[in-house]
RNA sequence: UGGCCUGUCGCCAAGUGGUAAGGCACGGGACUUUGACUCCCGCAUUCGUAGGUUCAAAUCCUGCCAGGCCAGCCA
């Protein structure tokens, strides 16, 4: 009988400052008890673990309060957006289980309405067409410590503004010559309130609306309206938008929206050793420093998926790290912990030899093959067992033999005994080496027939147990091991990413041997290789003729840790 | 040097005036045909800092220090 909490319970118990805000709204009946959140990605890149963190905040809150969750593509800048990204984003969200039901929206669907709202602000004398150049606007804006000054176009008549704005829309002006601005306060200590631009002219074809528009609303103007149009109650975003909140509220207030949505901010999440900036990710992909957006070294959701992470492990990770107002840098060890936790007791544990050395049993009958029955996962008997062929010629892991054993080493060494997992106790009698190079060619051992697993003699204890594979039965496989992609953090503008890439971030081992049992394994299948880690069959490079495994995470290795 | 925000163990993070939860990491031990897993045990007399209010402060007040964000016709 287990009383452990499942995720639902954990979510129920988990509380943060956002829950308190919503609890209060519920209590006061601000939105008639309604909760609706949204995730508004711009389709200009792939989702990564930081995006999943943001999605999870909005998604789990909608779930907790029996509310709704929308997916909305915030596509108000045609120069940067593309359909490829909306497809990848929806695919990754579905994989994670973030369900927007029938509420998939596009900010571009609201262009007509947003235009009308702009017109009504002009009519209220709260917006004007400005003809200052880009540089002039910057100059007039002032600095962080000094106020700006009013644009000479600030006090045009409503009629003139209406006329000019209409002409902007119909394409009579060149890009950059005119913008629509909100009339707020050029001396506000908040730069966002110094007559922010609401609309700019862009003769760029939009991936959805084509050439219908040549003016596009800015984020600050479009976002509160998108939220309002969709009935969003709580518009949750990360801290860098904190300074935009007064503007968000200003637009909704001037437009006299009742029960306006609330923008609330949370701290961003970073992970040690992972690149979670969209900008850097794009540079790495476009510059072909990595194998696409789904490179297993990247913290993109597609990269994590290809690497072998489960959506459950990512979700548990996100729920365990929590949310606060402060930004965080979470240790990647927590993510790895979540994966091990999820897979343990769930996937078969098999044997693989990554760096093989030949081992010969000199007293084992020539040509004999025994089928050793081994449990697939001792913690989960329901996963059954398999028969593994055992012969007198095996491969073992290079690091499981030491000619001169270090103190505390209890695997194979000359004269020493060790158990072959699921088979016999063996003793190392001789080491055959290449006379010139000193390279170990094979290890010769004798086995004790009385100690076969299951026999009475198997009760004898030896200090070490190692994994093995029969050389004539083993399958050849390629294994990819990963380390940090960037050993040092990049700063500012990076000219050449190759200077930052860790050459060991991807280690390809082409000559690995695995149990014949794995012959039928399919891309995406996961296994634990005993003592080596959790692995996933790569979905991109595995073919009928070639098996490629990605190591998701290594297993803990206290011996290696203590001897490093 | 303007405004806003944030500072609780190495890393996340509860706590919201009544005497510091939990997880990861780490250290020690038991168990083990995975040096894994599991199981025990340990791990903040102290909450950025200095004062103040109070019978009582991580929680309230004041000053200081540190970090973050903002001067795109990006989102």
CA angle A266, A267, A271 (to 5 degrees): 135
Q: What is the mean pLDDT of residues A486-500?
A: 81
Distance A337 CA to B26 C1' (A): 15
- Cα(A119)–Cα(A161) distance, integer angstroms: 9
Distance A268 CA to B6 C1' (A): 12
- Cα(A303)–Cα(A489) distance, integer angstroms: 20
From residues 195-254 of A, which are strand B contacts by CB within 7 A? 196-197, 200-202, 216, 218-220, 239-244
Is the distance between the Cβ of A397 and the closest atom of strand B smaller than 7 Å?
Answer: no
Distance A265 CA to B65 C1' (A): 26
- Cα(A551)–Cα(A531) distance, integer angstroms: 12
Is the distance between the Cβ of A289 and the closest atom of strand B smaller than 7 Å?
Answer: no
Distance A40 CA to B4 C1' (A): 24
User: What count of other Cβ atoms lies within 10 Å of the Cβ of residue A7?
Assistant: 14
Q: Which of A42, A254, A430, A478 is catalytic?
A: A42
Q: Which of A268, A346, A358, A386 is catalytic?
A: A268
ipTM of predicted assembly, 2 dp = 0.97
Encoded tokens for A115: 């235009």
CA angle A52, A58, A60 (to 5 degrees): 90
Encoded tokens for A74: 């915030």
Q: Strand B: which nucleotides have any atom within 7 A of a protein Cβ?
A: 1-8, 10-16, 22-27, 33-38, 68-75
Output the average pLDDT for chain A: 95
Is the distance between the Cβ of A421 and the closest atom of strand B smaller than 7 Å?
Answer: yes
Least confident of A110-119, A126-135, A337-346, A487-496: A487-496
- Cα(A221)–Cα(A255) distance, integer angstroms: 11
Distance A53 CA to B50 C1' (A): 38
Which of A73, A36, A41 has its CA nearest to residue A55?
A41
Distance A260 CA to B14 C1' (A): 31
Q: Where are the beta strands (DSSP E) in A255-305?
A: 262-266, 269-271
Instruction: Among all protein residues, pick the one whose CA is nearest to the C1' atom of B73.
Output: A200
- Cα(A9)–Cα(A449) distance, integer angstroms: 52
Query: H or E segment at A488?
Result: none
- Cα(A323)–Cα(A53) distance, integer angstroms: 9
The pLDDT of residue A2 is above 50: no
CB-CB contact of A277 with A49 (8 Å) = no
The pLDDT tens digits of the residues spanning A65-75 come to 999 999 999 99
CB-CB contact of A306 with A294 (8 Å) = yes
The pLDDT tens digits of the residues spanning A205-215 come to 999 999 999 99
Q: What is the pTM of this model?
A: 0.96
CB-CB contact of A363 with A447 (8 Å) = yes
Q: What are phi and psi of A31, to 5 degrees?
A: -115, 35
- Cα(A301)–Cα(A91) distance, integer angstroms: 10
Clarify whether A278 is annotated catalytic: yes
Clarify whether A268 is annotated catalytic: yes
The pLDDT tens digits of the residues spanning A129-140 come to 999 999 999 999
Who contacts A176 (Cβ-Cβ below 8 Å, separation ≥6)?
Answer: A133, A134, A200, A201
Q: Which of A183, A262, A278, A419 is catalytic?
A: A278
Is the distance between the Cβ of A328 and the closest atom of strand B smaller than 7 Å?
Answer: yes
């Amino acid at each position: 009988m287990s009383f452990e909490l499942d995720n639902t319970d954990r979510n129920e118990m988990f509380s943060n400052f956002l829950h308190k805000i919503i609890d209060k709204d519920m209590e006061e009946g601000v939105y008639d008890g309604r909760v609706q959140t949204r995730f508004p990605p711009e389709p200009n890149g792939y989702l990564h673990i930081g995006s999943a963190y943001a999605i999870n905040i909005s998604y789990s809150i909608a779930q907790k309060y029996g509310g709704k969750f929308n997916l909305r593509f915030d596509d108000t800048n045609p120069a940067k957006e593309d359909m490829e990204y909306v497809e990848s984003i929806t695919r990754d969200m579905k994989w994670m289980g973030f369900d927007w039901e029938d509420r998939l929206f596009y900010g571009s669907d609201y262009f007509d309405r947003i235009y009308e709202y702009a017109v009504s602000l002009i009519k209220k004398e709260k917006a004007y067409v400005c003809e200052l150049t880009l540089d002039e606007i910057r100059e007039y804006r002032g600095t962080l410590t000094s106020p700006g000054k009013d644009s000479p176009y600030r006090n045009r008549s409503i009629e003139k503004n209406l006329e000019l704005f209409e002409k902007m829309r119909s394409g009579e002006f060149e890009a950059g010559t005119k913008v629509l601005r909100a009339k707020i306060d050029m001396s506000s200590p908040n730069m966002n309130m110094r007559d922010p631009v609401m609309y700019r002219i862009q003769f760029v074809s939009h991936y959805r609306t084509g050439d219908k528009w040549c003016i596009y609303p800015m984020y600050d103007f479009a976002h509160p309206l998108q939220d309002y149009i969709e009935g969003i109650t709580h518009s949750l975003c990360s801290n860098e938008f904190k300074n935009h909140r007064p503007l968000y509220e200003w637009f909704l207030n001037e437009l006299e929206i009742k029960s306006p949505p609330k923008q609330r901010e949370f701290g961003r999440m970073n992970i040690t050793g992972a690149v979670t900036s969209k900008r850097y990710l794009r540079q790495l992909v476009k510059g072909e420093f990595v194998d696409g957006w789904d490179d297993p070294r990247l913290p993109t959701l597609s990269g994590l998926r290809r690497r072998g992470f489960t959506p459950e492990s990512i979700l548990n990770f996100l729920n365990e790290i929590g949310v606060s107002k402060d930004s965080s840098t979470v240790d990647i060890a927590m993510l790895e912990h979540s994966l091990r936790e999820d897979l343990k007791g769930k996937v078969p544990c098999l044997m693989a030899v990554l760096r093989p050395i030949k081992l010969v049993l000199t007293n084992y009958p020539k040509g004999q093959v025994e089928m050793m029955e081994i449990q697939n996962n001792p913690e989960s008997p329901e996963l059954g067992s398999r028969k593994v062929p055992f012969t007198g010629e095996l491969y073992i892991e290079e690091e499981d033999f030491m000619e001169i054993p270090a103190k505390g080493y209890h695997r194979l060494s000359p004269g020493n005994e060790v158990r072959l997992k699921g088979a016999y106790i063996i003793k190392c009698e001789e080491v055959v080496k290449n006379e010139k190079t000193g390279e170990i060619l094979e290890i010769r051992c004798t086995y004790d027939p009385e100690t076969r697993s299951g026999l009475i003699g198997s009760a004898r204890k030896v200090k070490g147990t190692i994994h093995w594979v029969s050389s004539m039965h083993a399958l050849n496989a390629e294994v990819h091991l990963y380390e940090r992609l960037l050993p040092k953090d990049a700063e500012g503008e990076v000219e050449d990413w190759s200077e930052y890439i860790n050459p060991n971030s991807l280690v390809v081992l082409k000559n690995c041997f695995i149990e014949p049992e794995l012959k039928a394994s399919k891309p995406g299948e996961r296994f634990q290789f005993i003592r080596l880690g959790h692995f996933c069959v790569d979905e991109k490079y595995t073919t009928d003729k070639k098996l490629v495994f990605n190591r998701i995470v290594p297993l803990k290795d206290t011996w290696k840790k203590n001897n490093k």
